[in-house]
Structure 1
């Protein structure tokens, strides 16, 4: 190895650890989300051996990072339903009901997917980050972060997150309960250039409690677009079509 290459590798390593764990997490979030205010479509496919796939689709609007409106678009019998998440608070609106119903981000939506998984794209809002170590997997080096929930309302108590050392692209995550039991493992795939940088457009999530079951989340039509403030008020949900 030449001196130039050796020095370059040292600089990469030094730059990585010059960043705090919180700064690394924010870089990961900047890859997963194109800003604080944007929209995208989401498709969930739940797979179980011997069973027909179950598919649900959603249109998601995010404003100021911590406000999300999730519109159910498929199947037809779910149309008109809405999730609203503001800060740590979450509700579901079902057509023909008098008012939105308070729900938890931890509740399962479909397969391995929780309500909070579709309403929240970034991690830094809900978790504190701690840099654990560098780890080599299949001849590639990764940074391993431990994310711990800031509040009891967070979707998970703890997340272990592996990210590339060169560009901070997330590769893998493990999700844990308060008791320390691992619920599921996620793999970030389908990287493609979207809005000026490579982003993972697929998450493959495997159930660690029910082996052989997994879900696929696909992101599409991501764009920077603002949403009126009224859309994030509970009293306005009945007017959204």
Structure 2
């Protein structure tokens, strides 16, 4: 979707492949380090089903991570120089983040940056890898990038709130616990309102039909997360909120 929004020339074929591999590596290593930290200090965080899965298959997952990282490294040599430079900077920040999270105490204030920082790294990785292959970036693209960034943060903050509902007896440390549920609900409501309003506004400000469809789809993604927020009891069953909450990032495929 991002590629078609800035449709000057096709982006290099290896870009989305490397991006997908690296996102998988970062997420999996983050979880595996969480499990290692739990083994050293069981009181550091609650042991969720996802953590138990990564603990049980740690050896296999480390092997898969190694293969994925090796394949991503090989494909890096096929990427344009602008993407490689961009990736080195963003990748360095991601490595520093994962390393810092692993070393910081369980309730260090810096850990509260997790939700906004991960949202920024995720959004910048997707949009930036396309933009560095372009000579110009339009205001519409920037607006839709900010919408996507808002959705990424909405997703992460919503998950933090739902995890509090899921395990109220287990102590966690996140923006949801520090801000409280009422403030988080207010922020999530405002995020939805601003994202949806921006999507409708862009439909009147641009004549590009694909940009209009993309803006509306981003608004629908935010509304889907809002529905999960409104009906927590239903979406907590069998972790439905995780499947649908992360599934919204497949919705842009509907406009291609």
TM over 0.5: no
**TM-score normalised by the chain length of structure 2:** 0.25
Higher share of residues assigned strand: 1
Higher share of residues assigned helix: 2
**TM-score normalised by the chain length of structure 1:** 0.26
